A and B are shown apart, each in its own frame.
Chain A
Amino acid sequence: MKRTAKDSEFSSRKISRRGLIMGGAQLAFVGALGLRMRYLQVDQADQFRMLAEENRINVRLLPPARGLMFDRNGALLAANEQNYKIVLVREDAGDVEEVLARLAQLVPLTAEDLERATREIYRRSPFVPVTVADRLRWEDISAVAVNAPALPGVTPEVGLSRGYPRGQDFAHVVGYVGPVSDYDLERLNDPDPLLQIPKFQIGKSGVEAKLEHELRGKAGHRRIEVNATGRVMRELDRIDGEPGANIQLSVDADLQNFIQARLAGESAAASVIDTETGDLLAIASSPSFDPNKFVRGISVADYSELTENKYRPLAGKAVQGTYPPGSTFKMVTALAALHDGVVSPEDTVYCPGYTYLGGRRFHCWKRGGHGNVNLHDSLMRSCDVYYYELAQRVGIEKISAMARLLGLGERHDLPMSAVAQGLAPTKDWKRERHGEGWQVGDTLNAAIGQGFVLASPLQLSIMAARLATGRTVTPRLVKSINGVEQPSHAGTPLGLNENLLRQVRRAMFDVSNSRRGTAFRSRIVEDAFRMAGKTGTSQVRSAVVRNQDVPWEQRDHALFVCFAPFDAPKIAVSVVVEHGGGGSKAAAPVARDIVLQALYGGLPPLAAYPAADHERIREMQRELPLRNPSSAEDGKDQA
């Protein structure tokens, strides 16, 4: 087919016109693209540049070193031990199985460890370091370092882990740390990003938990450049965090160690308080446990051994345990009555061995009775009937008020777990709690520290300290934080009549220094360190049976509170031996040993003891399982 020139001209013009339209349209589109580019690259540049920074920069937290804990003399109680571990990077290792097999010849690795490590290695990205072995000795690390060429991808690393050089001595005071749990996150409601680090260690009990905030420190961070798969390309900068605060406790580690050793074999607790400053010198609870086991992850067997032990090693009995104070409560009743003026120190009460109230017979512990007793005799010989009489005259409200004044029935603010409030009962309390009215019989029981009255060993030592000084001695456990001395409480006067107090103290002195006193056998013969105390035996059961004839759980609790030296009191001590029998036999000798140990600052000379006891004391001092001073700073042998 042939086309005319005119046709071609026509079609050519048409193509030209439409070609120009197309070109124009394309040019317009190119213009639009240019504008869009301008919008993205110029107008919104800042915003996108920021997004790009966020993309590539990853912030890694640097956990701070946890604060250390010391005793009042600077002995380490909670340390950060160097923890050697070995990590492996899959992509550098090449043949993972081969490298692990070689590694197993150098460091102790069980088949189980190997299997766990292998699983972890393949689960993670190839460039993520995975911990293969933990808590290694320096020798193992050296062996790995020497053989590094044969172990591609294997790196030794040093980390910090918590250790307690004093082992079980301070398990209840210092507490322990453990990996943060979901429950902790919920409980603490703490936005600190450190808590989001897997297995980050936080305080779980004791001071570790209560002063977690001070001990933890502030996280540092390093900014690293990462690519889209999270691989670290380089470190941009690093800001070190603030280490946690070092905490000095008021306790004396050697005294605590002595007490723990002295209490060994018993379910018992003791509290020693400085009467001048309120510093707690020792808060012991026996038996105890090794907190290091908790840090490492305690085995099920070890844990059930602790929970199933009838002596309850996990409980810090000195602050958590509450006991009927028994006769140690008599100073409270006496002072309440004396202050109310319903009795004077010289007034006598006749004790036939019992008293009747509403047809019920209330016994004195001494069947034959004490005859005519005044204040001094009633305390020294611990007559119950005298206090039954006083109780009826003064009433429960005033007794409870006196108890609270002396530090009972009140929760003292200490950074320890589950500090008990105890109980100084009132009429209102009983109505609210039991829905019953208060009976006079209740008052009689309370007067001799039985019935509803409950006190912890800590509270009893505070009571003794307040009796000794007449001031509101308040306990202090934390001596300083990062070198900053915490306020101590010498206390203010209790507002008690000094003359009456002196009479009570004098009677307490005779408890352990008069031949007729209940704790005469536990006297101190060194004149400078004479002690004043009060025995207590609190009943666990109601029937009157000899202690030797009943199972351990039903025997009486033995208590003793004291302060010393009598002339210028320095310390107040309380001892509770659970189901230990009589206070004079089971608790007073322990309290005497503690007093002497504390006042001498070490094992006391036999001369401080009555001559008849020398042989027995020497034997006891030799057998005492005290920690070896040479290994004092090395916690590893306890692990």
Chain B
Amino acid sequence: MSYLEYNLKTAPTGLSKIFHLNWPVILLLTAVSCVGFLMLFSVAGGSLTPWVEPQMKRFALGMVLMFLVAMVPIWFWRNMAGVAYLGSLALLLLVELFGAVGMGAQRWIDLGFMRLQPSELTKFTLVMILAAYYDWLDVKKTSRPFWVIIPILLILVPTYLVLRQPDLGTAILLVAGGGIIMFLAGVSWYYFAGVVASGVGAITAVFKLRGTEWQFLKDYQYRRIDTFLDPSSDPLGAGYHITQSKIALGSGGWTGRGFMQGTQSRLNFLPEKHTDFIFTTLAEEFGFVGGVSLLTLYTLIIFFCVVSALRNKDRFSSLLTLGIAATFFLFFAVNMSMVMGLAPVVGVPLPLVSYGGSAMLVILVAFGLVQSAHVHRPR
């Protein structure tokens, strides 16, 4: 029973909720998705198939789901947090056991009409369970060791399962996203200092153990890190992705080569141009102006979410909104860092722009939660 339920008199009911939605966020999400359609159209060589059409259908489905989720009061979702979390863990176990093998990693379950990536789902169910946990937890106990270990376990269990797949990108997002919620909830700075210190130790260990029986990462993951540190070491092998994507970005210049004129993507020099590396096509064809515009759209989404969260007096709603915004931020920040050669290639898609059903649906549903929190905020 929280503070929220005593102040419901002013919360809108019925269809009038639609007027109280966070419309700027909805418009921004639509704008970003449209940029995605445009780029998928371009990389397909000016064709709606094979990518734009399914992506549009998923966007439509995602929007419907977002509205449905937004209509349901936020406290229902808070009560469902545990179920959602356990459900996504179960799905992760399912891919571990039965998942199809795609691109050398077990990542998705075939639902017939689409392929579901439980790891995508987990990013947001983790945010939910952590927000619910800190909503339930007495604020004074937040920094006590025992109450710190519980959320850490909540983070590490799905992280372990994701790493088993193996999917380093998602694992990093899970840890970072979970960590951010703990930080927002008010866990003492000392813990974070400790984590940074041990993180440095862990990275050292990861590299020290390389080549031994206990090596922590897969060989290809090590190679990606090597390549990141020195892309020119293997320009036609593992460094190919980074080198080619930098060439594409750089050749865009101020205003780009024009829509559908990017030679890098047009001529297939770019790897995975419709998924993880789609930003390079945008940057090549629309240049610095196009790249900064997309970055601005993303930033505005975060901005409106943060504003909504800070004005929301409900602890769960506030943490959930900030957590989802942070995860969304991590998505595009890691993806852009990767294609600009600031981070290793870890396989994180550009949210709402990259081709991919699970990510699109899951992100829109997550923003449904943000909307629900916004609509049902105490007034």
Binding site for B on A (CB under 8 A): 1-3, 5, 7-8, 10-12, 14-16, 18-20, 22-23, 26-27, 29-30, 33-34, 36-38, 40-42, 44-45, 47-49, 51-52, 55-56, 225-229, 233
- The reply to whether the CB of B209 lies closer than 8 angstroms to some CB of chain A is no
Q: Are the C-beta atoms of A20 and B249 separated by less than 8 Å?
A: no
Q: A3-B2, A15-B185, A15-B319 are in contact. Are A56 and B267 (CB under 8 A)?
A: yes
User: In the complex the two chains form, is B250's CB within 8 Å of A227's CB?
Assistant: no
- Contact A51-B267, Cβ < 8 Å, known A12-B313, A41-B288: no
17 contacts between A and B (CB under 8 A): A8-B3, A14-B139, A15-B185, A18-B183, A19-B306, A19-B310, A19-B318, A20-B310, A27-B299, A38-B288, A40-B341, A41-B250, A48-B249, A51-B251, A52-B263, A55-B264, A227-B266
- Contact bitstring B74-88, A, C-beta under 8 A = 1, else 0: 000000000000000
Among A26, A51, A228, the residue within 8 A (CB) of B329 is A26
Q: Are A226 and B267 in contact (CB under 8 A)?
A: yes
Q: A42-B288, A45-B254 known; A228 and B318 CB under 8 Å?
A: no
| Known A-B contacts A22-B326, A33-B336, A227-B269; A45 and B250 likewise in contact (beta carbons under 8 Å) | yes
Complex CA–CA separation, A11 to B309 (angstroms): 13
Task: Beyond A2-B1, A30-B295, A41-B288, list 10 extra A-B contacts (CB 8 Å).
Answer: A1-B136, A8-B313, A11-B139, A11-B186, A14-B186, A15-B318, A45-B251, A48-B250, A56-B263, A228-B269
Contact B254 A55 (CB under 8 A): no
Whether the pair A40, B250 counts as a contact (CB closer than 8 A) is: yes
Cα-based distance from A368 to B161 in the complex (angstroms): 118
- Taking a contact as CB atoms closer than 8 A, the residue among A2, A33, A42, A227 that contacts B267 in the complex is A227
- Residues of A contacting B264 with CB < 8 Å? 52, 55-56
Residue B302 lies at the interface, judged by CB distance under 8 Å to chain A: yes
- A5–B6 Cα distance when bound, in Å, is 11
Chain B residues whose C-beta falls within 8 Å of the C-beta of A44 in the assembled complex: 250
Smallest CB separation, A578 vs chain B (Å): 61
Nearest B residue (CB) for A54: B247
* Among candidates B247, B254, B315, B336, residue contacting A12 with C-beta atoms closer than 8 Å: B315
Closest Cβ–Cβ distance, residue B185 to chain A (whole Å): 7
With A and B bound together, what is the CA distance between A225 and B2 in angstroms?
66
Known pairs A18-B184, A22-B180, A33-B333; A40 contacts B249 (CB<8 A): yes
- The A-contacting residues of B in range 294-344, CB under 8 angstroms, are 295, 298-299, 302-303, 306, 309-310, 313, 315, 318-319, 322, 326, 329, 333, 336-337, 340-342
Cα distance A14–B184 in the bound complex, in angstroms:
8
Tell me the count of chain B residues lying within 8 A, CB to CB, of chain A: 53
Q: Which residues of A contact B288 (CB under 8 A)?
A: 37-38, 41-42
Q: Whole-angstrom distance from the CB of A15 to the nearest CB of chain B? A: 5
CB neighbours of A16 from chain B (8 A): 310
Q: How many A-B residue pairs have CB under 8 A?
A: 143
Q: Which residues of chain B are near A19, meaning CB under 8 Å?
A: 184, 306, 309-310, 318, 322
Contacting residues, chain A, for B128 (C-beta < 8 A): none
Question: Complex: how many Å from CA A64 to CA B268?
Answer: 32
Select which of A26, A33, A226, A228 is within 8 A of B302 by beta carbon: A26
CB neighbours (8 Å) of A36 from chain B are 340, 342
Does B70 reach chain A (CB closer than 8 Å)?
no
Give A4's nearest chain B residue, CB to CB.
Answer: B3
Question: A45 contacts B319, CB within 8 Å?
Answer: no
| Cα A16 to Cα B318 with chains together (Å) | 9
User: Once the chains are docked, how many angstroms separate the CA of A525 from the CA of B291?
Assistant: 100
Whether the pair B267, A233 counts as a contact (CB closer than 8 A) is yes
Chain B's nearest CB lies how many Å from the CB of A233? 7
Q: Does B283 contact A (CB under 8 A)?
A: yes
Asked if A225 meets B267 with Cβ closer than 8 Å, knowing A11-B139, A26-B329, A33-B333, the reply is yes
Chain B minimum-CB-distance residue to A23: B306
- B226: min CB distance to chain A, Å: 21
Complex contact B249–A8 (CB within 8 A): no
A30 to chain B, nearest CB (A): 5
Given A8-B3, A37-B288, A49-B251, CB of A18 within 8 Å of CB of B139: no
Q: How far is the CA of A297 from the CA of B248 in the complex (A)?
A: 48
Q: Which of A2, A10, A27, A49 contacts B250 (CB 8 A)?
A: A49
Bound CA span A138–B287, Å: 55
> Which residues of the other chain, A, contact B295 by a CB distance below 8 angstroms?
30, 33-34, 37
Give the contacts of B231-280 with A (CB-CB under 8 A).
244, 246-254, 263-264, 266-269
Decide: A41 and B267 in contact? CB cutoff 8 A.
Answer: no
- Are B269 and A55 in contact (CB-based, < 8 A)? yes
Tell me the smallest distance from the CB of A94 to a CB of chain B, in Å. 23
- Residues of B near A37 (CB, < 8 A) are 249, 283, 288, 291-292, 295, 340
Bound-state Cα–Cα, A227 to B267, Å: 4
- Residues of the B chain whose Cβ atoms lie less than 8 Å from the Cβ of A27: 299
Majority DSSP secondary structure for residues of B touching A: helix
Bound-state CA distance A33–B298 (Å) is 12
Chain B: minimal CB distance from A104 (Å): 36
Please indicate the chain B residues that have their CB under 8 angstroms from the CB of A225 in the complex.
263, 267
Given the known inter-chain contacts A26-B302, A233-B267, please indicate yes or no for A33 contacting B337, CB distance below 8 A.
Answer: yes
Residues of A within 8 A of B310 (CB): 15-16, 19-20
Contact, CB under 8 Å: B268 / A227: yes
List the 7 closest A-B pairs by CB distance, nearest first: A48-B250, A52-B251, A227-B267, A41-B288, A228-B268, A45-B253, A49-B251
Nearest-neighbor residue (CB-CB) of B333 within chain A? A29
Q: Which residue of A lies closest to B269 (CB)?
A: A228
Task: Tell me the bound Cα distance from A454 to B350 in angstroms.
Answer: 86
Would you list which residues of chain B between 111 and 149 have a CB under 8 Å from chain A?
136, 138-139
Structural contact, B292 and A34, CB atoms closer than 8 A = yes
B263 pairs with A55, CB closer than 8 A: yes
How many angstroms from the CA of A543 to the CA of B251 in the assembled complex?
A: 87
Contact at A228–B267, with CB atoms within 8 Å? yes
Residue of B nearest to A32 (CB): B342
> In whole angstroms, what is the CA distance A42 to B283 when docked?
11
Contacts of A233 in B (CB 8 A): 267
* Contact between chains at A55 and B302 (CB < 8 Å): no
Which A residue sits closest to B283, measured CB to CB?
A41
- The closest CB in chain A to the CB of B3 belongs to A8
State A45–B251 Cα separation when bound (angstroms). 5
Minimum distance in angstroms from A499 CB to a CB of chain B: 82
B337-356 near A? 1/0 per residue, CB < 8 Å: 10011100000000000000
The residue on A at minimum CB distance from B184 is: A18
A225–B249 CA distance with the chains assembled, in angstroms: 20
Task: With both chains docked as a complex, state the minimum distance between the C-beta of A236 and any C-beta of chain B, in angstroms.
Answer: 11
What's the nearest-Cβ distance from chain B to residue A128, in Å?
Answer: 17
Q: A14 — nearest CB in chain B belongs to which residue?
A: B186
Question: A8 contacts which of B251, B315, B326 (Cβ < 8 Å)?
Answer: B315
* 0 or 1 for each of B5-40: is its CB under 8 Å from A? (1 = yes): 000000000000000000000000000000000000
For residue B312, give the distance in angstroms from its CB to the closest CB of chain A. 9
Docked pose: A27 CA to B298 CA in angstroms = 11
Contacts of B303 in A (CB 8 A): 23
CB distance from A57 to the nearest CB of B (A): 9
* Cα of A434 to Cα of B283 in the assembled complex, Å: 81
A44 to B252: give the CA distance in the assembly, Å. 10
| Best-surrounded residue of B250, B302, B315 (most CB of chain A within 10 A) | B250
CA distance A227 to B3 in the complex (A): 62
Task: Verify A22–B315 contact, CB threshold 8 A.
Answer: no
Which chain B residues lie closer than 8 Å to A30 at the CB level?
Answer: 295, 298-299, 333
Which of A22, A37, A41, A47 is the most central at the interface, judged by chain B CB atoms within 10 Å of its CB? A41
Interchain CA distance A10-B185 in the complex, whole Å: 11
Complex interface: chain A residues within 8 A of B299 (CB)? 26-27, 30
Q: List which B170-227 residues lie within 8 A (CB) of chain A.
A: 180, 183-186
